[in-house]
Structure 1
């Protein structure tokens, strides 16, 4: 977890480096996700002023790439001062989203807890981006598709809250059965991935 200093205001906020793999980025890229210091503590992806998502092919170059694009980076002054020396000395991602793997597992009809959790985390990330700026609102239509919502709701109703409320009982029981149209889910998730990936802008040195 990387702590970043807000230059003009003496406040600290938290950011995460995400390694992201999808069918469009099979070698992996890196995104920056942070909690804003606004009244709602909004979770956001670091973006350019045009609304596109900042990304890097090399985790060790993230800071320099942000500096080089400072005139184009939204919230530049709030994210550039990296306090955690690990980002330079021992850079590692905080979260890993392998969406290519996720699609493969759905195609193979593997709906394990880990797979459903990865799905839900990705939809939540997608939703954060869709809501962080009004110009992204068109993306909410994809998030609300039937099979996407069905699996998302299943995760919270059958996994997250039962495990949160009584972990021991959850671990000793079997989650409720899941009935879902695998083909429809795969298609709808593929649409979301393509829409999300189209919003990503590479920032190479």
Structure 2
């Protein structure tokens, strides 16, 4: 039935369960990795992580849900996450967002902060906050969100990009935005430190046998 194919679409299950797949690209790794991001109604946004520390990732998008389900007992998750894994069985996974670390880093080095770069950096800062929120052992990393250079960036982003774009829609013009008044070298250094913590916690496991 056509209705059934619509109901079972991968994206529909992601929306219903507040659980998504994201891609992470970095020259620190030989290939892109895929992660699972989800919302816990009681504790906020999180990444799917191992209970004893480590971000769950896989290099194979096609098998990510099967890999997560096979390791579920060792992962920190919610009932919605388990329900999502059941709902998406047999469906082709899709990526909701891509995080390209070298793209951000190179732009910060050149001090070329286009709208695309600003969006990418803001998205990573949010992702890092969700990572820090995922386990009690990573909670101390929330301090990066309060770093003066990160607070300056976020304040600028929301004042001149996020809220104006939301309010103005297609009329939004980034050319009218003032230059970000921040020490670009300091911003790069803090970004690299956050990236280092994040990438050091990525745990690549051998594929499970199905």
Measure how far apart 1:43 and its partner are: 1.2
> Aligned partners of 1:90 and 1:134: how far apart in 2?
33
Q: Which has the higher helix share?
A: 2
Equivalence for 2:140: 138
Equivalence for 1:50: 52
What is the CA deviation profile of residues 66-101 of structure 1, one whole-angstrom value per residue up to 9, with x for unaligned ones? 23323312227642434246xx45332111111111
> Aligned partners of 2:112 and 2:160: how far apart in 1?
16
1:164 is aligned to 2:174 = no
Equivalence for 1:110: 112
- Identify which of 18, 23, 29 aligns with 2:22: 18
- In structure 2, list runs of 5 or more residues that go unmatched: 1-10
> Aligned partners of 2:102 and 2:139: how far apart in 1?
25
Q: Which has the higher strand share?
A: 1
Equivalence for 2:96: 94
> Aligned partners of 2:144 and 2:154: how far apart in 1?
13
| Aligned partners of 1:4 and 1:83 also within 8 Å | no
| Aligned partners of 2:49 and 2:134 also within 8 Å | no
CA RMSD for the aligned pairs? 2.3
Q: Secondary structure at the match of 1:71?
A: helix
Equivalence for 1:3: 13
What is the correspondence of 1:118-133 to structure 2 with a 5 Å cutoff? 118-133=120-135
Distance 1:34 1:172, change over 3 A: closer
Equivalence for 1:8: none
TM-score by length of 1: 0.84
Measure how far apart 1:186 and its partner are: 0.9
| Aligned partners of 1:26 and 1:100 also within 8 Å | no
